[in-house]
């Protein structure tokens, strides 16, 4: 895997360095400075719009996860309440039967029944049974009281869950609106460019990523990274790299399209590990490792808000789902600002 990855990375320039003249296509004539500045401004604006959309996508994913959780909890509570109500009805029937039995005795105190009884010995023999009956009545009343209190609590919890579900749905809808607005704005900006400008814009994006990667490599970060992938890590990498070329779609978790955290989620599921849905939760919940201890299969979390994630595949590269309009691809691990590294398959000390 490492050799294959290295070949791909060298061919695409992800490891930095200088390609030979024979390998490099002739560069088009440089555009006038004014055009270059204009295109770079467009690139920055488009990048900003897609970054906002990506943050909103992770918000959407988190809200969607909460909606599903609240729905499951409400269903569980409904079943618990239904079962409790059936038990309550059974206890009420039992309490009624015990009350009827007491009524049939005439409600006379035990001392009086002893004095009036023609057969005191028989009465005393049954006294223990009487006491047990009274204890049974008290037990049923106690159960009824506790069950009614529990049902009240379940009902209040269900009401809270419904309120939370409504709030999560509103968050989800707001995030969806923001995502669509930002993506539409970015697409409109791109649509105003001529075909040659679009080509130059893509090259400008690639050049910026390569420049950032080269700075990262020049910092010496890669020389200390020598870790080998675990068996599960190899499976996760195999799945992730087999998705290369598939479209990025926000909120998608495969099998045909992915967003950034959808790709890492499915890749590690294929390796037998369940990890959180969003990049923020992956950063928050998974064990963190130092960059120098990173190994293939680990997840690199990007940007200060943890809104992007890629999987390290070795040789200074990640596989990731970049943004709308792009496909799952390999790129330099240092091509974006690194927040940190997490390891889905174990203790950070390993």
Query: So which residues are the catalytic ones?
Result: 260, 308, 320
CA angle 329, 333, 337 (to 5 degrees): 115
Q: Give Cβ neighbours of residue 334 (< 8 Å, ≥ 6 apart).
A: 212, 213, 215, 216, 217, 221, 316
Quick one: tokens of 153? 């609590």
Interatomic CA distance for residues 335 and 317, integer angstroms: 9
313 — phi, psi (to 5°)?
A: -115, 0
| Tokens 């049939």 -> residue | 104
SS (H, E, C) 106-175: CCCCHHHHHHHCCCHHHHHHHHHHHHHHHHHHHHHHHHHHHHHHHHHHHHHHHHHHHHHHHHHHHHHHHH
Quick one: tokens of 260? 């950034």
341 — phi, psi (to 5°)?
A: -125, 140
């Amino acid at each position: 895997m490492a050799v294959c990855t290295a070949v791909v990375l060298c061919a695409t320039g992800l490891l930095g360095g200088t390609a030979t003249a024979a390998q490099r296509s002739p560069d088009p004539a440089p555009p006038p400075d004014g055009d270059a500045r204009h295109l770079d401004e467009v690139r920055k604006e488009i990048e900003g719009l897609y970054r906002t959309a990506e943050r909103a996508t992770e918000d959407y994913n988190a809200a969607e996860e909460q909606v599903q959780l609240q729905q499951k909890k409400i269903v569980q509570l409904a079943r618990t309440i239904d079962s409790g109500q059936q038990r309550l009805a059974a206890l009420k029937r039992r309490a009624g039967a015990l009350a009827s039995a007491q009524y049939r005795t005439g409600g006379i105190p035990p001392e009086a029944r002893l004095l009036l009884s023609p057969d005191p010995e028989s009465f005393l023999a049954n006294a223990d049974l009487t006491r047990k009956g009274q204890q049974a009545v008290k037990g049923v009343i106690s159960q009824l009281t506790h069950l009614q209190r529990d049902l009240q609590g379940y009902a209040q919890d269900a009401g809270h869950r419904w309120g939370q579900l409504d709030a999560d749905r509103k968050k989800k809808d707001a995030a969806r609106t923001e995502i669509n607005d930002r993506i539409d704005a970015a697409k409109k900006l791109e649509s105003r460019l001529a075909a040659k400008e679009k080509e130059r814009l893509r090259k400008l994006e690639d050049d910026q990523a390569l420049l950032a990667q080269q700075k990262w490599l020049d910092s010496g970060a890669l020389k200390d990274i020598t870790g080998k992938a675990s068996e599960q890590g190899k499976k996760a990498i195999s799945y992730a790299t087999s998705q290369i070329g598939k479209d990025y779609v926000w909120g998608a978790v495969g099998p045909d399209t992915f967003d950034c955290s959808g790709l890492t989620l499915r890749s590690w599921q294929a390796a037998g590990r369940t990890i959180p849905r969003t990049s923020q939760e992956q950063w928050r919940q998974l064990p963190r490792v130092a960059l120098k201890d990173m190994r293939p299969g680990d997840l690199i979390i990007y940007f200060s808000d943890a809104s992007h994630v890629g999987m390290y595949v070795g040789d200074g590269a990640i596989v990731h789902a970049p943004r709308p309009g792009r496909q799952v691809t390999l790129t330099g691990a240092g091509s974006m600002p690194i927040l940190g590294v997490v390891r889905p398959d174990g203790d950070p000390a390993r």
